[in-house]
Amino acid sequence: MIDLDDVGALKRNDPQGMRERIAELPWQCRQAWEIVEGQRFPADYAQADSVVILGMGGSAIGGDLVRTLVRDLCPVPIFVNREYDLPRFVGQGTLVIASSYSGNTEETLAAFQEASRRGAKLLALTTDGKLAQMAENLLTFSYLAQPRAALGFSLIMLLSILTELGFVPDPRPDLEEAIEVVEGLGSKVREEVPTSQNPAKQLALLLQGKLPVIYGAQHLAPVARRWKGQFNENGKCFAFFEVLPELHHNTVEAFPYPAELEDTGLILLLTSRLYHPRNTLRFQVTEEMLDQYGIPHWSMEAQGRSPLSQVLSTIHFGDYVSLYLAALRGVNPSSVETITYLKERLAQI
């Protein structure tokens, strides 16, 4: 097991430099904004009656996040599609944005082709691949990383597209605040900060041998999903997420029977001052109940004034936890051998 305070060992465990990609989140956000700013789109794109974002895994989560972030601002519905096909409503009035880091993800490509057949307004975000060849309206970025480590690009480019098309007001003051909060947080959780002062290392240690279940609500619901994905892909460990208030209508029935969770489970609660007051109350009551039934839990309040800064900073924290989890488990945080095996296996058939 790697000592989290041995920075040399952390680096040796991370030959592709996931730690550097994580640290680059603020830079990625700035770059992403600049790529899209001032771009010209076909005139009718601003008249779209709905927006559908296509993507999978590390390229889809930016869609979930942007959808939640602009929920109160965007006058048209936004739908995230993780399927080979499309819902019936997608047609000429829909703006379909395919987001794929590699540009070669089969589900995303199939749905993009279907959107093209239906005459939808098409746009693609990618670094390269078949998507770059297929798409007439294309925004590319160049960044050598795992797709999940390019989240600053996939999220902020989507936000910037919606801004350029006039669907949402200019979020730059919030983005500037978010970058400041992320930089401040990063200085407290990066690998040089010893465990005694580093809450991300402390959480990774707490998670050793545990099965995390992450609870989030509203703008932090997709962040709970992001933590789950990062713990899976970087830390190579099982993790699950749930969303409040929905979990109060089912999961809680299992609270009085916690046998399976007592030794291995750890519930991680992502709280926010920006939650609806009833959701804040629901988180408080949830913690009381978890105590009452002896279910181990841990909680964290999101930092920042705006939803965007809370989202980005909480993601940044979770990304570092996943990096330290990988070190504790002695696995390479960048490798995706099993995902690659599956993609190759399916491509053969």
Tokens of residue 107, six digits: 């589900």
Q: Residue-wise over 203-234: b if at least 16 C-beta within 10 A, else e?
A: bbeebeebbbbbbbbbbbbbbbbbbbbbbbbb
Q: Is 132 in the site for ligand PA5 (CB under 6 A)?
A: no
Q: Is 329 in the site for ligand PA5 (CB under 6 A)?
A: no
Which of the stretches 80-88, 97-105, 292-300, 317-325 binds ligand PA5 when contact is defined by CB under 6 A? Answer: 97-105
Q: Which of 28, 81, 94, 146 binds ligand PA5 (CB under 6 A)?
A: 146
Cα within 13 Å of Cα(58), Cβ side? 22
Which of the stretches 44-52, 74-82, 98-106, 304-312 binds ligand PA5 when contact is defined by CB under 6 A? Answer: 98-106
Using alpha carbons, select from 80, 100, 90, 85 the residue that is nearest to residue 50: 90
Number of chain residues interacting with ligand PA5 (CB under 6 A): 15
Instruction: Specify the residue, 94 or 146, whose C-beta has the smaller distance to ligand PA5.
Output: 146
Tokens of residue 64, six digits: 């979930």
Instruction: Specify the residue, 58 or 222, whose C-beta has the smaller distance to ligand PA5.
Output: 58
Q: Please state, in angstroms and rounded to a whole number, the distance separating the CA atoms of residues 62 and 44.
A: 24
**219: annotated active-site residue:** no
Cα→Cα distances 224→52, 214, 284, Å: 22, 5, 18
Give the Cβ contact number of residue 293 at 10 Å.
Answer: 15
Counting every residue written for the chain, the total comes to 349
Identify the active-site residue in 233, 236, 242, 316. Answer: 233
Binding mask 149-188 for ligand PA5 (x = CB under 6 A): ----------------------------------------
Smallest separation, CB 256 to ligand PA5 (Å):
36
Instruction: Specify the residue, 18 or 336, whose C-beta has the smaller distance to ligand PA5.
Output: 336
Using alpha carbons, select from 76, 98, 222 the residue that is nearest to residue 158: 98
Q: Which of 16, 102, 116, 202 binds ligand PA5 (CB under 6 A)?
A: 102
Which residues face 241 on adjacent strands?
Answer: 214
Which of the stretches 89-97, 100-108, 185-193, 266-274 binds ligand PA5 when contact is defined by CB under 6 A? Answer: 100-108
**114: annotated active-site residue:** no
**297: annotated active-site residue:** no
Contact 160, 36 (CB under 8 A): yes
Q: Is 57 in the site for ligand PA5 (CB under 6 A)?
A: yes
Instruction: Specify the residue, 100 or 198, whose C-beta has the smaller distance to ligand PA5.
Output: 100
Instruction: Specify the residue, 65 or 269, whose C-beta has the smaller distance to ligand PA5.
Output: 65
Identify the active-site residue in 136, 192, 249, 253. Answer: 249
Q: Is 58 in the site for ligand PA5 (CB under 6 A)?
A: yes
In angstroms, how far apart are the furthest CA atoms of the chain?
59
Cβ-proximal residue to ligand PA5, closest one:
57
320: exposed, middle or buried (Cβ count in 10 Å: 0-12, 13-18, 19+): buried
* Residue 214 φ/ψ, nearest 5 degrees: -100, 130
Q: Is 101 in the site for ligand PA5 (CB under 6 A)?
A: yes
Give the Cβ contact number of residue 185 at 10 Å.
Answer: 22
Q: Is 198 in the site for ligand PA5 (CB under 6 A)?
A: no
Give the Cβ contact number of residue 250 at 10 Å.
Answer: 9
Q: Please state, in angstroms and rounded to a whole number, the distance separating the CA atoms of residues 230 and 247.
A: 22
Q: Is 319 in the site for ligand PA5 (CB under 6 A)?
A: no
Which of the stretches 9-17, 73-81, 113-121, 146-154 binds ligand PA5 when contact is defined by CB under 6 A? Answer: 146-154
Report, as residue numbers or ranges, the catalytic residues. 233, 249, 343
Interacting residue ranges for ligand PA5, rule: CB under 6 A: 56-59, 100-102, 105, 108, 146-148, 233, 336, 339
